[in-house]
Amino acid sequence: MNTMTRDAMPDRSITPPSRLLQLLEGRALWELGATMSIWPLLSMAPKGDGHPVLVLPGLVASDLSTRVLRRFLRERGYYVHGWKLGRNLGLREGVEKALFERLDALNQQHGAKVSIVGWSLGGLYARVLGKHNPEAVRSVITLGSPFAGSPRSTNAWRVYEWASGQKSDDPQAHERLRGALAMPTTSIYSKTDGIVAWPSSIDVETPTSENIEVYASHLGLGVNPAVLYAVADRLSQPQGAWKPFDRSGVRSIIYPRAAKA
C-alpha cells in the first residue's frame, strides 16, 4: 500500500519540455566556450573556507562531465571530489550504499561537513544524502534536478529505465526525496531546460532553502558561467550564517527573479 502523504506526492501535472527546447540543448557547447573565454573574469567569484565538496554527475554521465565545475571550485579553494563510481546508470544495486560510504569517508578524511553539488540525477542523490545523513552534510546544491515532479516530467525517464533496469516512477524513491532538508539548500534551474521540466526543480522556499534561475541548457548547467558563479557564491557562505542569493544590481540581468513553489 502507498503510504505517502499528500506533501510527498510528486506533481504529475508537470509535462516534459517541448521538442524545440530539446533541439536547443546543443547550445551547451556555446556555454562551455563562453566559460572558457571569460575564465579569468570568473576568478573574481567568491572563494570559500576550503571545506570539502562532493560533485555528483547526471544520468549516464561520469566524473568527466563535471571536470570543468570541479576545476573551477578547486581554484576557489575547496577540496573537491568526484563520485568515482563510473557512469551514473541510476540506483543499481550497491550505488546508494557506495554513496553513503563515500560521504562518510570524506567527512572523516577532512574532519568537516561536506557540501554536495549534484547535476540532474546527481542532485536527487545529493538530496537523499542530505536528508538521511544531515550530520555529515553542510549544504546541498542541485542543478536542474527533478525532485519536485514525476520522472515522467522529464525527457530522460526512458533512458533511466534502460540504463538502470528499474522503473522510474517508484513511489518509495519519491518519498525519500521530498521534504525540506536540514541544511542550506539551493536549486539552480533554467526555464529553457530541454531535458527536465523546470517546475519540477522548484523547491519550497524556507529560511535556508532557495531557487536560482539561470539562462542555460540542461546539458550546459555544469559549464555555464552564470551557474559556476552562483555555485561558488553559495558555497562561500559561512557555516551557520547562510543568506539567500543576492540578485540585486547587475546580477538581476543575469539571474531572473526565481519562481516559487
Interval 202-261: pLDDT, tens: 999 999 999 999 999 999 999 999 999 999 999 999 999 999 999 999 999 999 998 887
Q: Which residues, 6 or more positions from 36, have their beta carbon under 8 angstroms from its beta carbon?
A: none
* The pLDDT of residue 13: 81
The residue ranges of the chain whose pLDDT is under 70 are: 1-12, 171-178
Left if phi > 0, otherwise alpha if psi is -120 to 50, otherwise beta: which for 154?
A: beta
**Closest alpha carbon to 235 in 92, 138, 94:** 138
Query: Which residues on adjacent β-strands are paired with residue 143?
Result: 119, 188
* The pLDDT of residue 173: 65
**What are the extents of the domains in the chain?**
15-254
Q: What is the pTM of this model?
A: 0.93
Domain 15-254 top-level CATH class:
alpha beta
* The pLDDT of residue 174: 65
Neighbours of 135 (CB within 10 A): 8
**Is the distance from CB of 228 to CB of 69 less than 8 angstroms?**
yes
Helix (H) or strand (E) holding 143, with range, is strand 137-143
* The pLDDT of residue 151: 78
* The pLDDT of residue 1: 27
Residue with cell 530539446: 22
